[in-house]
Structures are given as C-alpha cells and as structure tokens.
Amino acid sequence: MTSDHTTTWLFGRLDLSSLPIWQAIQSPAISELIAGAAAMIVIAGAIAVIAFITWLRAWRSLWTDWLTSTDHKRIGIMYCVLALVMMTRGVIEAVLMRAQQADGLSGGFLTPEHFAELFSTHGTIMIFFVAMPLVAGVINYIMPLQIGARDMSFPVMNQISLGLTATGAVLVMSSLVFGKFSTGSWAAYPPYTGLAFNPGPGPDYWIWSVAIAGIGTTLSGINFAVTIYKERAPGMTLFRMPLFCWTVLCTSIIMIFAMPPLTVATLMLAADRYLDFHFFTNDLGGNMMNYVNLFWLFGHPEVYLLVLPAYGIISEVVATFSGKRLYGYTSLVYATMAIAVLSFCVWLHHFFTMGQSANVNIAFGIASMCIAVPTGVKVYDWMATMYRGRIRMTVPMIYVTGFFILFVIGGLTGVILANPTITYQVHNTLFLVAHFHNVIIPGVVFGLLAGIHYWFPKAFGFRLHEGWGRVSALLWIFGFSFAFLPLYVVGLMGMPRRSANFNDPAFEPLMLAALFGAALVLSALAALVIQIWVSVRDRDKLAAPLGDPWNGRTLEWATPSPPPHYNFAVLPQVKDRDDFAAAKANGRAFADTANYGDITMPKNTALGMIICAAATLLGMALVWYIWWLAMLSVLTIVVAFVARTFMLDTTYTIPADEISREHRAWLARVRAASPITRDRETDDVNQGLAVLELPETLKASR
Amino acid sequence: MGYNKAKQFSVLLLTAVILAGCSEQRSSFLDPAGPIAAAQRAHLIEVVGWTMIAVVPVFILVPVMLWRYRYRNTKARYTPDWGYSGWLELVMWGVPFMIVAVLSTKLWFSTKALDPYKPIASDAAPLNVQVVGLDWKWLFIYPDLGIATVNQLAFPAGAPVSLNLTSDTVMQSFMVDALAGQVYAMPGMRTKLHLLADAAGVFKGENVQFSGVGFTEQKFDAVAMTPEAFSEWVARVKSDGVPLDAQTYELLGASSTGAQVYEAIGTNGMPAGVIYFNQVAPDLFKKVIGRYHGGEPVLPANQPGAAGYVWQPLFNGSSK
Ligand code: HEM
Ligand SMILES: [Cu+2]
Ligand SMILES: [Cu+2]
C-alpha cells in the first residue's frame, strides 16, 4: 500500500494518492466512493460550521466566552458538544457496519479493508471521543457545583485537558480526509499494528490520537480528584457528598492509575514503529502478550471509569424523581469503592484464551465475578430508593428504567463471560460484542443521557422538550434491544466479531433485525437533535431560571440557572447530606446573608487552544513523517508553557456589591414566583421553584 | 459393505463442501459434538440458572415499583426520609455474595476440568497435530504420520486430538465451536488445545481473531471419521499430496486464502480449497517457532503475512 509513496522533506509521506477523494476519482468503486464522500462531508461540514459562525458573527464570542474560558461549566459543555458531534459519526459508522453485515451473506457492499477501518474508527471514537468526553463533560459541569466549589482546582489544566481530547478527535476526523485510519481495531494489537504488517499511516493515527487524548484524560483525573479533596464547601464532609461525587472520585482515581498503562503501551508501540524498537515485534525478543496485558490493564478499568459516573447519575436521578432520600448511601459508597479497586484486578478476563494455566484463569475469573456483588447491590439499592417514593416518569426516569431492565441482561452476560470455560467458546464472537454494547449503551450512554436531560435546565436555564425526549428515549431503548439482543444469539451460534461477511444463512435474519435496531438508534439520535432544536426554539416557554425545576436535593439546584461564573455568591455552609432538600424542608433555603465578599476567579487564557493546535499539528506531522513540523510544534508547546509561567496576572476579582446585586435580584425573583407541585413539572409553568411535598402536608391536604 | 470407502469418503467431503455453512456442518457449542463442548454448554446453562436468582427479581420489581409508587397513586405510602434497613442490607449483600460463591466454586472446578492444556482421558491413543496459523489459512501438520494439510483437520472420532498451535504471522485464534472452543495461536509461541468428537461428523473450524482482509476466509472443516475412514484418508493424502518443502511453505506464507493457494498448487485429488502434503520437512513446527528466537531480525521480506513479504505479488487482490 505504501511502496509507491515517496517521501519529501516538505510533506513527508503525504501525497495525492493518500487522499480518499483522489482515490474515489481514480477508481470509483462503492467502497472508494463512500470513503470519498465521507471526506467531502468532513470538509463540507467544516466549511459549513465556519460559514455559520461567521453568519452569526459569533467568532469573538466563541473565542472569549468559550474557547479561552477556564470556567468548568463552559469546558463541560464543550466536552459534551464534542462528544455529540463524534457520536454522530460513530453511529453512522455503526449503521454502515450493520448494513454491511445484514448483506454479509452475499459479501456485502464494502471491501473487507473498509469494513475493518469502520470497526476500528467506530470503536476508537465511541470509547475515546464519545463516552470519555461525555463523562468528562458532565463531571466538569456538575461536580464543582455539587460540592459547593467555585471552579476546578486547576482551571487552566482543565482547559488543556479539553484541548488534548479535542486534538485526538481532530486527528481521527482528519484520517477521513488525509490517508486512512488503522484497520487494527480499537485495541490495536501488535504485531498486526506493527510496522512489518501495517507500514501505512493508519496505526500511527490510532497511536497519536489515543496517546494525546489519553494524556488529557490523566490530567482530568488529577484535576477531579484534587478538586474533590480540596475544594469542598465548609461542612461538606466526604460522607455528605452527593453519590455522584463519590463516583467521580473513584473514576478520577481510575483515570490516574489506568491511563498511564495505555499511554505507555501506545508509546512503546510507537517506539517499535518509529525507532526500530522490538517491544512487541515477532522477532528479537519482542512479545505481543506484553502489549495485550498493558492494554487491558487500562482497558478494563476504563469501562468502570465510564460506568461509575453513570451509576452516580442514576443515583441522583432515581432519588430526585422518586422524591426520596437515596436508599443505602453508605452501601453505595462502599460498593463504588469496591468496584473501583476490583476493576484493577480482572484485566486478564479479556484473554482467558491466551494459553495461561487454569489456575491463573480461575483467579481472574473469580475476581471478575466478584464485581457482580457490588453491582447487584447498587441495582437493589436503587429499587429500594423507589420503594415508598412518589415516582414521576420524566425523560431521565425513562432512560433509567431502560437501564434497569437492559443493564441487568448485560450483567448476566458479564457473569457468563467471567467463566473461562464459556469464554473459550464465546470470546471473539458477536456474543462479546453484544455484551459490551449491552453494558455501555444502557449503562454508560443511557446514564449520561439521563444526566444530560436532568441537568440541562441547570446549564442553560430552560428544560429540554419533554415529548421529543420521550420519543428519543424510547427509540434508544428499542433500538438498542433490536440491534444487540440478536447478536447474543448469533454469537452463540459462532459468528466471529469483526467479520465483513459470513456464509451461514442462519445468521441472516438476525443480522437484518440488528440492522433494523441500528436504524432505530439512528432515529433516536435524530430525535435527540430535533429535541434540542425544538427546545432552543421554545426556550422562553421552557425557561426555568429560578434553578430548581425537579425539586432537587443537592447543592447544584440551590443556584440560579445558569449559575454565575463563580457558582455561589456565598459559599454554602453544608449541614446535611442532600443539603438543599434539608434546607428547603426547614426553611434555610434561599436565605440572604450580609457577608458577601469579593470573589477572585481565573482569567481567560489561550493556552489550551495553542496546545490543542500545536498538538494536532504534531500528531499530523508524526503520522506523515513531516519532521520539521513535528519539531516546530513541540517547540510551540514548550514556548507556550514557558511563556505562561511568566504571566502573573492570571486572576480577576468580582466586587462584593456586584455579587450581592446579582444574587439579591435572583432571590427577589424566587420570592415573587409561585412554586409548583410535581405533577406540573413538565408544564410551561415550571419556573424552577418547587412546592414542598412532605407526607404530613399531603395528608393534611387530602 | 456394498460400496467402497473412498466413495463414501468423497460423498462425505462433497456434502461438507456443499453444505459448508448449512446446519449439516455443525458450528456451535449449543449443538455439541464432543465432551468438552457439551460440558461448556452445560456450564453455561448452570451459570444462567443461578444468576437468574438475582436477575428475575429486577425484571419483576422494577415495573411493580414504578406502578405502585407512581406519583398519582396517593394511596401508596410515602416515606421520603427512609434510607436504611439493616435486614434489607444483609439480603442485598448476602444474596449476590452467596450466588457468586456458588458460581465461583463451579468456575473453579470447570476451569480445571476443561483446561484446554489438559489431555483428554481416553482409552484411545491421542492423535498429535501441529497447527500453524498463516495469513488466511491453517496448516495442519501430522508429525507422526509425516503428512500435512491446509484447511482440513481430519481425525478419528472417539480418539482425543492433541493440538499444538503457533502462528507464523500475526496473532490468530483457533476455534472449533462444536468440539472445544478456542485458543490463541501466537508467533514464536506454542499453545495447546485438546479435543474429541463423539462420532463422525463435519465441524466448522475457523480463526476468530481479526487478522486482515482475508480473515473471514480463514475457515476449515474439522472432519471426524471412523478409524477406517481415517486410515483411508491418510493413505489418500499420501498418494495425492504434494511435498511440503521450503518453497511451498514460503508460498503458503503469502497473504492469501486457501482457495488462492489451491489455485496455485492444488490438484484434482484434493478437495476444493484444501491442500494435501505427503512429505513434511521434519521439525517444521519447531522451526516455525524457532525462527523468532534466533537473535536475528526477521525482515519483512522473510516474514509471512508482512507487507513486504516477497511472495506476495504472486496473488492479486490479497494485499493488506
Ligand atoms: C449506537 C449504536 C451502536 C451500534 C449500532 C454499534 C455497532 C457496532 C458494530 C456493528 C460493531 C462491530 C462489531 C463487530 O466486531 O463485528 C461495533 C464495535 C464496537 N463498538 Fe459499537 N455500536 C454502537 C454504539 C457503540 C457505543 C456507544 C460504544 C462505546 C461507547 C461502542 C463501542 C464499540 C467498540 C469498542 C467496538 C469494537 C471495535 C473493535 O472491534 O475494534 N459502540 N459496534
Ligand atoms: Cu474487562
Ligand atoms: Cu464486561
């Protein structure tokens, strides 16, 4: 593939034949045309976005309010936007793959190489550039508010984390326009991804996008953990934290310890590919098994990194929409910590079939199964939270219901896969694909979507449209079920994963069902986009600026929506778990104080964007062997960092009277508004102020 | 018998070829054809059964809770501050713990019993086969018989088969679902797998670890035969086969499917897509593993499956 490429000092190994568009013109077969069209879409999309921003005259605002902002709330929103854009690509690729396999009996319409590129980009994108940024985004927005902090401990580092994640995403997107992405799957096992077997730029795209984004995630983990340890409001002891914050703490610890093995593995693979090292090559003492261990030493904790915050969100959502205190808080905390610790002890279950002794498999099999205990406890705790509650079936609760029913199936198949004897049969089949989608989609994705619907009014001051939200949620639930439950059957029947085609006619009907499901998921995504569109259009009707649209229980609801840059006019004095619920019950909520003070906040900085741009160029330069550009970009990064250390004026102060003015204006609006009961929370009247509905008052009114 | 065995054998092969992929070729451990796969299926059913103790209550209780405690049902009790019950806590931790304890015990014993490295106890002597994964075909060497095949694993039914596996390209995973499941085949390393078929039959075998564009073509028939049919088959391989020498092996190493190799060196005596070898260089398997341990670089030109492998241009449409 690369033998006909020549290397020039200016463009490295990049030339005309590396462009899919050029190849589509040269040999217009279906696969080439799809690749060419994808490249055109990326280019056209980029042009459209630029034109749209220009038309809105929003460049200045984009730069000063968003890209250079160090506000954890804005950074959180940018993470979510990035994730949703990437999710669109990931889902479209998924539908393409499903279409190919639905037609797989007759060979399909894509070349096997194109199919391989699709599952590699889909997997890489969905994990690193959809799930991770969505998790990071929600954490960024919510966690500081929940613990009563003004910002992250390291706001600039936070911005750099976002920049590095974006770099990875841009690199993956660039591979549509320049060259081709890896065909080596999201796990990129050598020696297949080594230089001998794949000399082209594909594996290099994978390496640099994942390595660079991974560094961003490590930094995020440090930031989240330090923020939780250091920035909690007075009185917010660890055991008063909302459960979501506990899950964030465990997730950030996982980030700190699980990302380095990935970074190391990718850099070692890079050393093999660029510097003639032999860590994982077949010859000269290399051994690919070391890569497999390092990768899953990251890979298994990774899935818990993703799902723990989702558990946190579910805990918040179930408690709020059941109008009840969370059942078994302490149990849930210990269950979360147990899962976080166990998640580092089970990586070997991803390769029970590598030939190690039965005793090793037994140890790791039992360890894997143990995770089922705390996970089961969690599910039962949430059910006990609903017990004797007053449950409202809002959009987040629909997602959570979908989670309960479907995630349990994923848990069941997880327990099945923990058994080495069964894994010998179903490993590497579509059974496994069904399993991990079954935990990732109902678990992580539904959890995050529930969280997004739950917290959207906090972030934007208006609720998301309820009707379209229901449509989307139901489409997700049924789409998932059709798309993946049949795959369990096909997997048990023995169809290998990553198959571009097959020759057993028995697979075909199930593959067609899966395609139907994927189409439903695509419409779910479309409904989500429509929902956002409709909500923005009707934002005045949906407005809930007073801040508490769901009768919330935790601190983030004690602020106006959207909250001011500094979050809290006066740092809250926390006296209780579920402090805001307690405050509302005993009349402490919405109190005015006399002691407003000046607030110092971090200034905007362009550092994150400079690093993002330079790291993107560095990635491209390394992929294409453009050495001068690589050196220039590294130099830019170093200079930017050093220059930043000379900047002493990095904060600004908001005077106390401005704060008191803003805060009192909000309090006045709260006092003037009429609170509503929960049966009207999805109506236009919901301004974000809740009536207290306690058992005593209910009895009295009956 | 009224008709000769060779004819019977070709009928069998023919059906195998025609019905490849249809239900006649058994391709799932849910339809086990040997003790290992049967035990694996039994274990699956047991695990599902035990886990149901924790799963079924969720399916029942979630709808019940949602309905019973819906907001508009003012008759249901409402206890917003209830958040702990010692008994409930004990059940919630205790029940899953007990289930996992039971399942762990079962896991322990079944993993020991079904260890792929453990020879299968049997009165019959085991048949040794050495398996080399190549880009996109399997080479089966019968060291004790001095023969080898590409993409056909024949063996007598009722006798254990002892497989030693390696790969001479990227990592692959060898699997015969109906008999024993899978184990990785890795370059420079040797793994083991034991299997046994209860009765004669044709079973799907394949590579299940993605290994490049020809990956889905890397399938073969595992054919269990009566002992007599097996001797016939060995005789036939010896008579109709070609020698497996260094040159032929280099050709096998190129990235190509079994069908492509058959086009190059197959003869009429061999079933479509299958190659018979009647002479095998001694210690070939050992050499395949050993070549990576010589302390010398294995350059892409000498690395089967690599992008620069010299034999590659022989086959069109098979570049990585
Ligand atoms: C939205 C609906 C989705 C559909 C229809 C879908 C479909 C698919 C398909 C068809 C494959 C290839 C299966 C094969 O190997 O034969 C795949 C692989 C994969 N998917 Fe998804 N997927 C979806 C969402 C997700 C999400 C949300 C994630 C993670 C956040 C995800 C992560 C992965 C990963 C990691 C792989 C493995 C890629 C590899 O083998 O290297 N998918 N998916
Ligand atoms: Cu795992
Ligand atoms: Cu799992």
**What average pLDDT score do residues A106-114 get?**
93
B185 touches chain A (CB under 8 A): no
A497 touches chain B (CB under 8 A): yes
Query: How high is the pLDDT of residue A695?
Result: 80
Give domain status of residue B208, yes or no.
Answer: yes
- d(CA B187, CA B189) in angstroms, rounded, equals 5
Q: Which of A12-26, A353-367, A405-419, A660-674 has the lowest average pLDDT?
A: A12-26
Query: How high is the pLDDT of residue B24?
Result: 64
**What average pLDDT score do residues A166-194 get?**
95
Query: How high is the pLDDT of residue A15?
Result: 85
For residue A81, the domain's CATH number is: 1.20.210.10
Give domain status of residue A616, yes or no.
Answer: no
Residue with the bigger pLDDT between A3 and A261: it is A261
Q: What is the pLDDT of residues A413-464, one digit of tens each?
A: 999 999 999 999 999 999 999 999 999 999 999 999 999 999 999 999 999 9
Pair (B144, B75) in one structural domain: no
Q: State the smallest CA–CA distance between residue B60 and chain A in angstroms.
A: 10
Give domain status of residue B303, yes or no.
Answer: no
With H, G, I as helix, E, B as strand and everything else as coil, classify residue A328.
Answer: coil
Angstrom CA distances, A254 to A177, A259, A308, A309, A334, stand at 34, 8, 10, 12, 15
User: Which residue of chain A comes nearest to B54, CA vs CA?
Assistant: A376
In chain B, what residues touch A376 (CB-CB under 8 Å)?
54, 92, 95-96
**What average pLDDT score do residues B11-17 get?**
42
Q: State the smallest CA–CA distance between residue A381 and chain B in angstroms.
A: 8
Give domain status of residue B26, yes or no.
Answer: no
**How does the average pLDDT of chain A come out, rounded?**
95
Q: Is the pLDDT of residue B142 over 90?
A: yes
**What average pLDDT score do residues A202-210 get?**
97
Q: Is the pLDDT of residue A269 over 60?
A: yes
Look at residues A671, A676, A679 and name the one whose alpha carbon lies nearest to residue A692: A676
Give domain status of residue A615, yes or no.
Answer: no
Q: Is the pLDDT of residue B313 over 70?
A: no
pLDDT-derived band at A34, boundaries 50, 70, 90: confident
φ, ψ (nearest 5 deg) of residue A292: -60, -40
Q: What is the pLDDT of residues A596-645, one digit of tens each?
A: 999 999 999 999 999 999 999 999 999 999 999 999 999 999 999 999 99
Whether A126 lines ligand 1, by a CB cut-off of 6 Å, is: yes
Q: Which of A88-97, B167-176, B191-200, B280-289 has the lowest average pLDDT?
A: B280-289
Which residue owns the Cα nearest ligand 1 atom 11? A119
The structure tokens listed for B200 are 């004669």
* Final residue belonging to a domain, choices B113, B137, B168: B113
Query: How high is the pLDDT of residue B310?
Result: 74
pTM exceeds 0.90:
yes
Give domain status of residue B8, yes or no.
Answer: no
Pair (B190, B65) in one structural domain: no
Q: State the smallest CA–CA distance between residue A63 and chain B in angstroms.
A: 44
Q: Is the pLDDT of residue A580 over 90?
A: yes
Per DSSP, helices labelled H in chain B are 5-18, 35-68, 86-113, 227-240, 246-253, 258-265, 284-290
Give domain status of residue A612, yes or no.
Answer: no
For residue B185, the domain's CATH number is: 2.60.40.420
The domain of B176 spans 127-292
* Final residue belonging to a domain, choices B88, B113, B138: B113
Q: Rg for chain A (alpha carbons), in Å?
A: 26
User: Which residue of chain A comes nearest to B106, CA vs CA?
Assistant: A419
| DSSP-assigned states of every residue in A602-639 | EPP-SHHHHHHHHHHHHHHHHHHT-HHHHHHHHHHHHH
Contact B58 A405 (CB under 8 A): yes
Query: How high is the pLDDT of residue B14?
Result: 38
Give domain status of residue A9, yes or no.
Answer: no
Give domain status of residue A550, yes or no.
Answer: yes
Query: How high is the pLDDT of residue B7?
Result: 44
- The DSSP 8-state label assigned to residue A362 in this structure reads H
Q: Is the pLDDT of residue A3 over 50?
A: no
Q: With contact defined as beta carbons under 8 Å apart, do A230 and A569 qualify?
A: no
Question: Which of A380, A388, A428 is nearest residue B208 as measured by Cβ atoms?
Answer: A428
Whether A102 lines ligand 1, by a CB cut-off of 6 Å, is: no
Q: What angle do CA A286, A287, A292 make, to 5 degrees?
A: 140
In chain A, what residues touch B171 (CB-CB under 8 Å)?
189, 191-192, 288
pLDDT-derived band at A5, boundaries 50, 70, 90: low
Pair (B138, B94) in one structural domain: no
Q: What percent of chain B has pLDDT over 70?
A: 89
Q: Is the pLDDT of residue B130 over 50?
A: yes
Q: How many CB atoms lie within 10 A of CB A268?
A: 19
Give domain status of residue A264, yes or no.
Answer: yes
Give domain status of residue B304, yes or no.
Answer: no
Q: What percent of chain A has pLDDT over 70?
A: 98
Pair (B107, B170) in one structural domain: no
The structure tokens listed for A645 are 């250390």
* Angle of helix A395-417 versus helix A466-492 axis, rounded to 10: 10
- d(CA B303, CA B292) in angstroms, rounded, equals 10
Give domain status of residue A617, yes or no.
Answer: no
Pair (B180, B93) in one structural domain: no
**How does the average pLDDT of chain B come out, rounded?**
89
Q: Is the pLDDT of residue A35 over 90?
A: no
Ligand nearest A298 Cα, by number?
2
Q: What is the pLDDT of residues A273-307, one digit of tens each?
A: 999 999 999 999 999 999 999 999 999 999 999 99
Domain count, chain A: 1
B171 touches chain A (CB under 8 A): yes
Pair (B81, B221) in one structural domain: no
User: Which residue of chain A comes nearest to B80, CA vs CA?
Assistant: A324
Q: Is the pLDDT of residue A199 over 70?
A: yes
Look at residues A304, A309, A259 and name the one whose alpha carbon lies nearest to residue A134: A309
Q: What is the pLDDT of residues B148-186, one digit of tens each?
A: 999 999 999 999 999 999 999 999 999 999 999 999 999
With H, G, I as helix, E, B as strand and everything else as coil, classify residue B130.
Answer: strand
Q: Is the pLDDT of residue B11 over 60?
A: no
Give domain status of residue B311, yes or no.
Answer: no
Interface of A with B in 106-125 (CB under 8 A): 111-113, 116
Q: Which of A7-11, A476-480, B312-316 has the lowest average pLDDT?
A: B312-316
The ipTM of this complex is 0.93
The structure tokens listed for B227 are 């002992």
pLDDT-derived band at B6, boundaries 50, 70, 90: very low
Whether A127 lines ligand 1, by a CB cut-off of 6 Å, is: yes
pLDDT-derived band at A32, boundaries 50, 70, 90: confident
Pair (B105, B136) in one structural domain: no
Give domain status of residue B169, yes or no.
Answer: yes
Whether A119 lines ligand 1, by a CB cut-off of 6 Å, is: yes
Query: How high is the pLDDT of residue A410?
Result: 97
- d(CA A33, CA A39) in angstroms, rounded, equals 10
The domain of A427 spans 58-605+650-698
Pair (B105, B222) in one structural domain: no
Pair (B106, B187) in one structural domain: no
pLDDT-derived band at A24, boundaries 50, 70, 90: confident
Q: Is the pLDDT of residue B77 over 80?
A: yes
The label of the residue with tokens 């230089």 reads A195
Q: Which of A154-163, A188-197, B18-27 has the lowest average pLDDT?
A: B18-27
The structure tokens listed for A412 are 């069941």
Whether A98 lines ligand 1, by a CB cut-off of 6 Å, is: yes
**What average pLDDT score do residues B85-100 get?**
96
Pair (B183, B275) in one structural domain: yes
Q: What percent of chain B has pLDDT over 90?
A: 82
pLDDT-derived band at A549, boundaries 50, 70, 90: very high
Whether A266 lines ligand 1, by a CB cut-off of 6 Å, is: no
Give domain status of residue B163, yes or no.
Answer: yes
Q: Is the pLDDT of residue A651 over 80?
A: yes
Give domain status of residue A52, yes or no.
Answer: no
**What average pLDDT score do residues B271-294 get?**
93
Query: How high is the pLDDT of residue A1?
Result: 40
Query: How high is the pLDDT of residue B156?
Result: 97
Contact A197 B320 (CB under 8 A): yes
Angstrom CA distances, B33 to A274, B203, B225, B298, stand at 48, 8, 13, 41
Pair (B145, B281) in one structural domain: yes
Which residue owns the Cα nearest ligand 1 atom 35? A123
- The DSSP 8-state label assigned to residue B315 in this structure reads S
In chain B, what residues touch A404 (CB-CB under 8 Å)?
58, 62
Pair (B63, B138) in one structural domain: no
Q: Is the pLDDT of residue B22 over 60?
A: no
Query: How high is the pLDDT of residue A186?
Result: 97
Q: What angle do CA A629, A635, A638 make, to 5 degrees?
A: 145
In chain B, what residues touch A408 (CB-CB under 8 Å)?
55, 58-59
Q: Which of A283, A296, A405 to mutate to test binding with chain B, by most B CBs within 10 Å of its CB?
A: A283
B39 touches chain A (CB under 8 A): yes
Q: With contact defined as beta carbons under 8 Å apart, do A523 and A479 qualify?
A: yes
Residue with the bigger pLDDT between B12 and B26: it is B26
Q: What is the pLDDT of residues A333-365, one digit of tens each?
A: 999 999 999 999 999 999 999 999 999 999 999
**What average pLDDT score do residues A156-180 get?**
96
Question: Which of B23, B215, B306 is nearest residue A506 as measured by Cβ atoms?
Answer: B23
Query: How high is the pLDDT of residue A4?
Result: 52
Sign of the dihedral through C-alpha A558, A559, A562, A567: negative
Query: How high is the pLDDT of residue A2?
Result: 42
Q: Which residues surround ligand 3, an ion (CB under 5 A)?
A: A 414
* Final residue belonging to a domain, choices B57, B84, B113: B113
Q: With contact defined as beta carbons under 8 Å apart, do A519 and A97 qualify?
A: no
Domain count, chain B: 2
Interface of A with B in 277-296 (CB under 8 A): 282-284, 287-289
**What average pLDDT score do residues A198-202 get?**
95
Q: What is the pLDDT of residues A43-74, one digit of tens each?
A: 999 999 999 999 999 999 999 999 999 999 99
